[in-house]
Structure 1
Amino acid sequence: MKILINNMSNYFKAALLLGTITLVSCEKRLDIAPTASIADNLALNTEGDVLVTLIGAYDGAQSAAAYGGDIMVLNDLVGNSTNINFTGTFAGLSDAYQTQMVSDNGFARDTWAACYNTINRCNNVLTAVAKVTSSTTKRNSVEGEALMLRASMYFELVKLYAKFVGDGDYATNPGVPLVLTPTGNVTDANYPARATVKAVYDQVIADLVKAETLLPNSNGNYVSKWAAAAQLSRVYLMVKDYANARDAANRVITGSGKSLAANFGSNWFTFINNAGGTPGEYLFSLKVTAQDGTNSQNTYFGRNVGIAGTAGRSDCKIRLTHINAYETGDFRKGYFTLSGGNYYTNKHLDRFGDVAIIRLAEMF
């Protein structure tokens, strides 16, 4: 399944503009710098500039239109009509659910823009990473984080906006534009053609392979070596390179020090159950707090069950065919609730906490 966007040039231009930096200075009068360009003398000149821009890349990835949840919701709606019944009123999501996309679909536009916004921030970091001079370890981590985030955005873009590997010839099928250098000034030259699906996957793999070698084993709330290896396993699986997918997954299983949660429920309600702490099984996740971040999975799959911190629109119901697919005794079946004649998942009731991108369980 795929989302087709026919008129992406304006969306792409907007995405590139969003990724630029605007600086304003004031002396006796207000001097406003051009908003569509970055002057060479105002670019990333210090380690602090680079680190702030890297945080901006995480912020871009965290946006609602990207890993804040819309990417996951769009994938669920496009590929799971036999498991999910979407009853919401958002026309853009309804189009995705019915696989009847139009060129001005707002959700598709915003996800495209958010991903390229994040990519441009990563490109700015990668171009200026030599300015990180406090230590080689720090410079390697910064480079690895930017590569991991850029690869993840391209991975999501090529899955949503191009044909899957196996649907025709992926060496010639159009993928998405590959932009690997910062875009500071938007001109006609900034309308790159779509690279092939294979070229996009090749770039994603190259970025992740390098990121895995650069990143530390542990990196706090930021991506680590094991997050890169786990994402790499996913990518190899998508391109049907099963041996490398297995090997990358095994590296995570044996080297990350993580273990499967003894209580499946501890992977969910992360704010309510874990006081906002990241579940031990998570390899890659993004924080959502009352001050920052959005969880679109909560917005569309969640609902208020009378417990403080729960919320949601209840737009996505779970079909009985999905419920019946679980064997008797499968504890996962206990994470669905029948209410008002409809089944709902209980995994996304929590407004806050972590948005899980990759869990250890996916590596098995």
Structure 2
Amino acid sequence: MKNISKRAGILTLVLGISLSSCKDSFLEAIPETSLSDATVFATPDRILSQVNGLYGSAKNGSLYGGRYQIYNDIRAEEFINRTTNTVTGYTTYQGNQDPSDTYIASFWTRGYLTINMANLLLEGLDANPGVVSDQLATNYRGEAKFVRALTYFGLVQFFAKPYALDNGASPGLPLRLKGETTSDNNDLARSTVAQIYDQILKDLNEAEAALPDNYSTPELRTTRAHKNSAIALKTRVMLAKKDYQGVITEANKLVSATAPFKSSNRVAHELLADVVAVFRAPYTTLENIFSFPMSVNDAPGTQNQIGYYFNAGNVEYFINTGPTGIYSNPQFPATDARKSKLTVATTSVSANPSSTKFSGVSPYIDYVPMIRYAEVLLNLAEAEAEAGSLVRARALLDAVHHRSDPTYDFGTLDKAGLIQAILTERRIELFAEGFRSNDILRRAQPLNSFGAGAVIQPTDNRYIFAIPVIETQTNKAL
């Protein structure tokens, strides 16, 4: 996103997503940069700019444009740092980040800015009926609630203890559901983790009801939230709550009862035959449920871009091939396309390989995949293995793995072995997409931090990020 302006008393981010390949007016809306309270919701184009700006804020490099995914991956055991560069997450990698860390603080502030934009958009739509059709206003409300839910979920994963530790009784986050244009209401205590999860799921349920079934182009279907986007995100949130029956119920809206697994509702999501194509232009396959688009004029910033960190062209972090990393796991053999086609030797800087999942070169403008159908299948597989059908869980696991390695044989698996195989499959399939540390924390397991050289227990202060100083200094209720 570009042309960001801030002004008290108005909705502060009003701009359009710039994509050179897009032909739809949604992505070609003219940015507005300085509008008064009386006019910011005065026309359909200006309201559309608020929606565009909301997505743009969420995909900022400090939030979901890169750092969320990168920090979740480098905290654990899959990557080894090469550059010792503080700007590219070295303190997080080492596990010695503190509340004064400005890069973690930027995730917090960008997250709450995005939440505030969603709140202001919802209030502005309510206060200005009739400017757009009721149907379109409902659509926009659904998008605002989807983005607010996604953002709160990222924040609660980073800055609060996992739900599984105490069923959400731990302190969570300040729950801000009203638009703020001044600092008058800065002081707000933390709601519990459970209360944050309740609000996330409330938003997603309401988003599902409000969002459209589909959009007119593959680009819009991938980059704007629709009903299946909200449903898919619910499976992720419910999995983090260990609400396995809830995951099964929601996932069944998207996944057929038996193989070959695909969605027969709304958008026909399915696994792409070639896993590599999921991560290559145009990034709009039926496997890509929701992604954040990037372009040459709309990149997330050099040291926020996932490719900048992991690609062979720069390699801030190369792959851990040691016994703790997934690369050497027997479930990830050389015959697997995810290894043979999505990793490459980087002998110029290290004997270790690097990832090519995000293959672009500077300015590294690969779309950022936030929700893929493969993840939904693995969410459902884990839930079925924990609380449903072991047969279906195994079939889902086979579907994901055999897409990339059709000859691999899992053999006979009991329940514990099946769950472990599914968790291992997540490490392989979702590698470098920002899932690793959250998959550890959501099950309240110790975090094996390669960078810290330690196994960090749930009782350790390093297990989660502390609320940044920038918040504790201005919010006296914390």
- TM-score bracket relative to the smaller structure: 0.7 to 0.9
Equivalent residue number for residue 198 of structure 2 = 202
Distance 1:66 1:123 in 2: 18
Secondary structure of the structure 1 residue equivalent to 2:254: helix
Equivalent residue number for residue 349 of structure 1 = 359
Q: Is the 8 A contact 2:13 2:50 kept in 1?
A: no
Q: 1:289 aligns with which of 295, 299, 310?
A: 295
- Is 1:107 aligned to 2:103, yes or no? yes
Equivalent residue number for residue 96 of structure 1 = 92
Q: Is the 8 A contact 1:231 1:358 kept in 2?
A: yes
Return closer, same or farther for 1:230/1:16 CA change in 2, 3 Å cut-off: farther
- Is 1:74 aligned to 2:71, yes or no? yes
One-letter code of the match for 1:230? A
Equivalent residue number for residue 225 of structure 2 = 223
Secondary structure of the structure 2 residue equivalent to 1:66: coil
- Is 1:166 aligned to 2:161, yes or no? no
Q: 1:323 aligns with which of 327, 336, 339?
A: 327
Distance 1:241 1:53 in 2: 34
Over the residues paired in the alignment, what is the CA RMSD in angstroms? 2.4
- Residue 194 of structure 1: how far off its partner (Å): 1.4
Equivalent residue number for residue 29 of structure 1 = none
Q: How does 1:126-141 map to 2 (within 5 A)?
A: 126-130=122-126, 131=128, 133=130, 134-141=132-139
- Residue 44 of structure 1: how far off its partner (Å): 3.4
Distance 2:52 2:129 in 1: 14
Distance 2:133 2:51 in 1: 17
- Residue 49 of structure 1: how far off its partner (Å): 3.3
| Alignment: residue pair count | 320
- Is 1:21 aligned to 2:12, yes or no? yes
Distance 2:8 2:174 in 1: 15
Distance 1:73 1:105 in 2: 16
Return closer, same or farther for 1:330/1:17 CA change in 2, 3 Å cut-off: farther
Equivalent residue number for residue 272 of structure 2 = 261
Q: Is the 8 A contact 1:77 1:97 kept in 2?
A: yes
Q: Is the 8 A contact 1:250 1:363 kept in 2?
A: no
Return closer, same or farther for 1:279/1:354 CA change in 2, 3 Å cut-off: farther
Q: 1:180 aligns with which of 177, 182, 192?
A: 177
TM-score normalised by the chain length of structure 2: 0.63
Equivalent residue number for residue 241 of structure 1 = 243
Q: Is the 8 A contact 1:158 1:176 kept in 2?
A: yes
One-letter code of the match for 1:355? V
- Is 1:301 aligned to 2:310, yes or no? yes
Secondary structure of the structure 2 residue equivalent to 1:166: helix
Secondary structure of the structure 2 residue equivalent to 1:128: helix
Return closer, same or farther for 1:203/1:16 CA change in 2, 3 Å cut-off: farther
Q: Is the 8 A contact 1:178 1:194 kept in 2?
A: yes
Equivalent residue number for residue 8 of structure 1 = none
User: Could you list the runs of 4 or more consecutive aligned residues of structure 1 that deviate by over 6 angstroms after TM superposition?
Assistant: 15-19
Distance 1:112 1:327 in 2: 35
Q: Is the 8 A contact 2:269 2:286 kept in 1?
A: yes
Q: Is the 8 A contact 2:146 2:203 kept in 1?
A: yes
Which blocks of at least 5 consecutive residues in structure 2 are unaligned? 1-5, 15-34, 256-262, 378-478
Equivalent residue number for residue 6 of structure 1 = none
One-letter code of the match for 2:85? F
